[in-house]
Structure 1
Amino acid sequence: MSAVWIDNDPSPAPAAKIERENHKLEKRLCRLVGQAIGDYAMIVPGDKVMVCLSGGKDSYALLDILLKLQRRAPVDFGIVAVNLDQKQPGFPAHILPQYLESLGVPFRIEEQDTYSIVKDKIPEGKTMCSLCSRLRRGILYRVAGELGATKIALGHHRDDLLQTLLLNMFFGGKLKGMPPKLQSDDGRNVVIRPLAYVNEKDLVRWAEVRQFPIIPCTLCGSQENLQRRQVGDMLRDWDRRFPGRLDNMLHALQNVVPSHLADPVLHDFRNLAATGVPSEDGDKAFDHEELPVAEALPALQVIKL
Structure 2
Amino acid sequence: MIKPGDRIAVGVSGGKDSLVLLEALAAMRRFYPIPYEVEAITIDPGIPGMRFDAIERLCEELDVPYTIVKTQLYEIIFEVRKESNPCSLCAKMRRGAIHDAAVARNCRVIALGHNRDDAVETLMMSQIYEGRISCFMPVTYLDRKDVTVIRPLLYTPEKLVRGCARSMDLPIVTNPCPADGNTKRQYVKELLRDLDREAPGIQERMFGSMQRLPLSGWEKVR
The offset of 1:252, in angstroms, is 1.2
CA distance in 1 between counterparts of 2:4 and 2:194 reads 41
Unaligned ranges ≥5, structure 2: none
Q: Is structure 2 residue 126 aligned with structure 1 residue 165?
A: no
Q: Which moved more, 1:126-135 or 1:54-63?
A: 126-135
Quickly say closer, same or farther: Cα 1:185–1:176, change in 2 above 3 A: farther
CA distance in 1 between counterparts of 2:156 and 2:149 reads 17
DSSP-derived class of the 2:33 partner:
coil
The offset of 1:102, in angstroms, is 2.1
Alignment RMSD (CA, Å): 2.3
The offset of 1:257, in angstroms, is 6.3
- Greater RCO between the two (CA within 8 Å, min separation 6)? 2
Q: Residue 108 of structure 2 contacts residue 146 of structure 2 at CA under 8 Å; is this kept in 1?
A: no
The offset of 1:157, in angstroms, is 0.5
The offset of 1:240, in angstroms, is 5.0
Please show how residues 223-234 of structure 1 align to structure 2 within 5 Å: 223-234=180-191
The offset of 1:184, in angstroms, is 3.1
Q: Which amino acid aligns with 1:159?
A: D
Q: Residue 128 of structure 1 contacts residue 219 of structure 1 at CA under 8 Å; is this kept in 2?
A: no
Q: Which amino acid aligns with 1:130?
A: S
Please show how residues 111-260 of structure 1 align to structure 2 within 5 Å: 111-123=70-82, 126-184=84-142, 186-219=144-177, 222-240=179-197, 242-256=199-213
Give the total of aligned pairs.
218
CA distance in 2 between counterparts of 1:175 and 1:84 reads 29
The offset of 1:53, in angstroms, is 0.4
DSSP-derived class of the 2:152 partner:
coil
The offset of 1:116, in angstroms, is 1.2
Unaligned ranges ≥5, structure 1: 1-41, 259-265, 267-302
The offset of 1:234, in angstroms, is 2.1
Quickly say closer, same or farther: Cα 1:239–1:47, change in 2 above 3 A: farther
Which residue does the alignment assign to 1:58? 17
Q: Which amino acid aligns with 1:225?
A: N
The offset of 1:243, in angstroms, is 4.1
Q: Residue 48 of structure 1 contacts residue 151 of structure 1 at CA under 8 Å; is this kept in 2?
A: yes
CA distance in 2 between counterparts of 1:147 and 1:197 reads 28
Q: Residue 9 of structure 2 contacts residue 109 of structure 2 at CA under 8 Å; is this kept in 1?
A: yes
The offset of 1:154, in angstroms, is 0.5
Q: Which amino acid aligns with 2:209?
A: A
TM-score (norm 2): 0.89
CA distance in 1 between counterparts of 2:150 and 2:158 reads 17
Q: Which moved more, 1:161-170 or 1:240-249?
A: 240-249
Which residue does the alignment assign to 1:284? none
The offset of 1:86, in angstroms, is 2.0
The offset of 1:238, in angstroms, is 3.8
TM-score (norm 1): 0.66
Which residue does the alignment assign to 1:76? 35
CA distance in 2 between counterparts of 1:47 and 1:223 reads 34
Q: Is structure 2 residue 53 aligned with structure 1 residue 94?
A: yes
Q: Residue 87 of structure 2 contacts residue 183 of structure 2 at CA under 8 Å; is this kept in 1?
A: no
Quickly say closer, same or farther: Cα 1:248–1:111, change in 2 above 3 A: same
Q: Which amino acid aligns with 1:165?
A: L
Q: Which amino acid aligns with 1:65?
A: A
Q: Which amino acid aligns with 1:152?
A: I
Q: Residue 182 of structure 1 contacts residue 191 of structure 1 at CA under 8 Å; is this kept in 2?
A: yes
